Structure 1
Amino acid sequence: MFFGLTIEKLLVIGVIAALLIGPDRLPRYAETLAHWTTRARDYLRSARTRVKEEMGDEFDDVDWRTLDPRRYDPRRIIREALLDDAPVPTVRAAAAGAAIASTASEPLRPGASFRPGDPPPFDSEAT
C-alpha cells in the first residue's frame, strides 16, 4: 500500500486522468511522470547514500522503523511518561531546598497554609 491507496484506487485515478487528459496529450504526460519518478528515486537514493557516508558504521545500528512519525501516539508517550519512576532527589536539589527554606520568613512545610497578613515564603533565586 502506498499512503493508504490500493491498486483499485490507483487504477480508477489513472482511468479518470486518461479521460480528462485525452489520447493526444497522454503519452507526453506519461513521459513527464516517468521522468519525475526517476528523478525522485535518484534523489532519494543519493540522499540515503550521503546519510550512510556521514553516519558511517552507526547507520546500520539505527532502527529506522522507530523513527516513523506514524508510530508517535501522544497518548502512548504520555502514558509512558506517567508510568516512569519519579526522579530521585539529588544532593544539589536538597541543598537548593535548604537554601530556600533558610531565606523564607518561616520554614517551608508541605501543605502549610498561610494566614492573612503573613508574608509568603520568598525564593531569592526565582525570577
Structure 2
Amino acid sequence: MFESIGWGEILVLIVAGLFILGPERLPEAAAWLGRSVRKVRDFATGARQQLRDEVGTDFDEFRKPIEDLRNLRNFDPKRAVTQHLFDGDHDPLGLDNINGTGGDGSAATKPNGYAEGSSASPTRTEPLPPGEKPPVDPDAT
C-alpha cells in the first residue's frame, strides 16, 4: 500500500507534522499513530485467524488460486517458453552462458555454436583489395 513512499516523503511529513502540531504535541501524535497501526494489524491478524478456524482445511484450497494469481505478476514469458521448449536442457541459443562457461562448466559457446576464441572462420587483418566482395556468413543473417 505504501510502496511508493520513500525516505524523502517521510521526512517531509515529519517536518510538516512538526510545524503543524508543534514540538509539544508531535510525540503524542506519533504514539497515537503507532497504537492505531498496531490495532489495525491485530484486527487483520485476528480476522485471518478466525477465518482459518471457521473454514478449516478448505482455507488452504481457497488460498491456492489466489497464490497462483500472485505468481502471474512475476510471470516472465521468455523464461516460460525457454523452460517449456528445452525442459531444463542446455540452452542451444547460448543465453545461459552469462558467466563465460556453459552449464556444465565447459567453455562458453557463441550463439552460432562455435566455441569462444575458435578459429572456425578465418580472420583477415589486411583490408580487402578494391572490387573484392567481403565473405558472407549465412549464420550471421
TM above 0.5, yes or no, is no
Please give the TM-score of this superposition, normalised by the length of structure 1.
0.45
Please give the TM-score of this superposition, normalised by the length of structure 2.
0.41
Pick the structure with more helix per residue: 1
RCO greater where, 1 or 2, for CA within 8 Å and sep 6 or more? 1
